A = this chain, B = another copy of it.
Amino acid sequence: MKKSLIVQKFGGTSMGSIENIHIVAEHIIRAKNDGNRVVVVVSAMSGETNRLMGLAQQVDCVPNARELDVLLSAGEQVSMALLAMTLSKLGHSARSLTGGQANIITDGQHNDATIKHIDTSKIEQLLDDEQIIIVAGFQGINENGDITTLGRGGSDTSAVALAGALKADECQIFTDVDGVYSCDPRVVKSAQRLDVVDFPSMEEMARKGAKVLHLPSVQTAWQKQVPLRVLSTFNVNQGSLIKGEECQQAVCGVAIQRGLTLVSVIPESVEAIRKHCMMLGVSVWDVVNESSLLLKEDCLAKLQQVCEDKLLGYQCVSLLTVVGTAAEQLAEHTSQLLAPQDIDVVHVSMAKQSMSLVMLPDCIDKAANILHDAYITTAEAMDFHPKKAFLG
């Protein structure tokens, strides 16, 4: 029987010190001793990317893009070497590979490259030699052999892309939380870790502000049919497994996105502004209606420079999104829950299996607790079925 192949990804906090790297090595050795072939993707040690970026910005506030990639990619080179050394010290054969050595080929978009292709033959050969493979996350090379980086958070993308290319049995994202929660546990104390989440729900939660996984990683894993598992480096449990095509639960989670701006514009200029945004590389979060749209707060300044004349006003807002098969039918009931608590919903928008509420930032924690209690905590206790309970 062919051994299972597992890709494990460890982020900056997991790789943040020699002690932590030792803990990482123990996770890897456990997977190897369980009879798996193991490929590991690592981020730079926490703080290192910022340190390097700080050096670059002492040189130039907008550093040369090609050279910034050369600079930043050194961060993962350090952490992967330290991990391979640690495994070696513990008696296991390990081999580190840069993005280039792992044949991760990207387009030429420095600082924000996209993986085009991974030639896995070298990795597979090393796996056949019983090696543990450590690959630098966040980096690749373009067709000229120049170093490229995938942008921040790119190590998850590297891991998922490698898992897809290697047809891995599971891609494990180790992080500092121990799974996917029904809401941010710092906001909602009763938030629960989800044992299993289906891909469409996870995608919608990631899109609407859940920070545990980057949206493109979820999308790639879904597309490549690689089961994703989110686990904690520092807390041994099964984490959350993301798999499956169909949205499974009436309400599985409540996502929070802060730091948005609701921009009011001259009526009928929305389309023109949307085009400006595309040219500026500013992503429009949502078009609310013909005279207002939702942007990330930090994109506003850019937009103001270009089309101040079309902007009438702006307001800081946050977005609360309820995800699940029942979400689209909860608008009225939600409004009944929030209105008596003096929570004004500025705008409601529906997507497939989700409902998003735009509100003032200082209401969002309270609103998240009210909706999470009603649709998840209480509902579970009551064997909740929203249609029956609230709509029927």
**Bound CA–CA A265/B163 (angstroms):** 62
Q: Which residue of chain B lies nearest to A55 when distances are taken between CB atoms in the complex?
A: B82
**Bound CA–CA A58/B81 (angstroms):** 13
- List residues 52-77 of chain A with CB under 8 A from any CB of chain B: 52, 55-56, 58-60, 63-64, 66-68, 70-71, 73-75, 77
Contact A18 B82 (CB under 8 A): no
Contact B82 A77 (CB under 8 A): no
Majority SS of interface residues in chain A? Answer: helix
Contact B96 A84 (CB under 8 A): no
Q: Does A284 contact B (CB under 8 A)?
A: no
Contact A58 B96 (CB under 8 A): no
A85 in complex: contacting residue of B60, B84, B96, CB < 8 Å: B60
**Bound CA–CA A231/B88 (angstroms):** 43
Q: Given A52-B78, A67-B96, A145-B101, check contact A85 B73 (CB 8 Å).
A: no
Contact B77 A59 (CB under 8 A): no
Q: Which chain B residues lie closer than 8 Å to A98 at the CB level?
A: 70
**Bound CA–CA A309/B236 (angstroms):** 55
**Bound CA–CA A95/B64 (angstroms):** 10
Contact A60 B81 (CB under 8 A): no
Q: Which chain B residues lie closer than 8 Å to A21 at the CB level?
A: 59
Q: Which residue of chain B lies nearest to A101 when distances are taken between CB atoms in the complex?
A: B145
Q: Which residue of chain B lies nearest to A100 when distances are taken between CB atoms in the complex?
A: B100
Q: Does A86 contact B (CB under 8 A)?
A: yes
Contact A85 B64 (CB under 8 A): yes
Q: Which chain B residues lie closer than 8 Å to A89 at the CB level?
A: 59-60, 63-64
B-binding residues in A (CB < 8 A): 18, 21, 52, 55-56, 58-60, 63-64, 66-68, 70-71, 73-75, 77-78, 80-82, 84-86, 88-89, 94-96, 98, 100-101, 145-146
